[in-house]
Amino acid sequence: MNGPKQSKSVLADINIIPLVDVMLVLLIIFMITAPMMQQGLPIDLPKVTTKPLPSKDEVQTITVTKERTVILNAKRVDIQDLKPAIELLFANKTDKEIFLKADSGVPYGFVVSCMGIIREAGVEKVNIVTRPADAR
Please list the pLDDT of the chain residue by residue as tens digits (136 residues).
Answer: 565 666 677 777 778 888 899 999 999 998 888 777 666 556 666 676 666 656 555 788 888 988 888 988 888 888 888 889 988 888 888 788 888 888 888 888 888 898 899 888 888 888 888 777 665 5
In this predicted structure, what is the pLDDT of residue 53? 58
Please report, for the chain, the start and end positions of each structural domain, with discontinuous segments joined by +.
47-132
Classify domain 47-132 at the CATH class level.
alpha beta
End-to-end CA distance of the chain: give it in Å, rounded. 83
pLDDT of residue 6: 63
d(CA 22, CA 16) in angstroms, rounded, equals: 10
Spatial contact of 132 and 47, defined as CB atoms under 8 Å apart: yes
What is the C-alpha to C-alpha distance for residues 89 and 134, in angstroms, rounded to an integer?
A: 35
pLDDT of residue 24: 94
pTM for this model (two decimals)? 0.57
Question: Quick one: pLDDT at residue 23?
Answer: 94
Per-residue confidence (pLDDT) for residue 54, from 0 to 100: 60
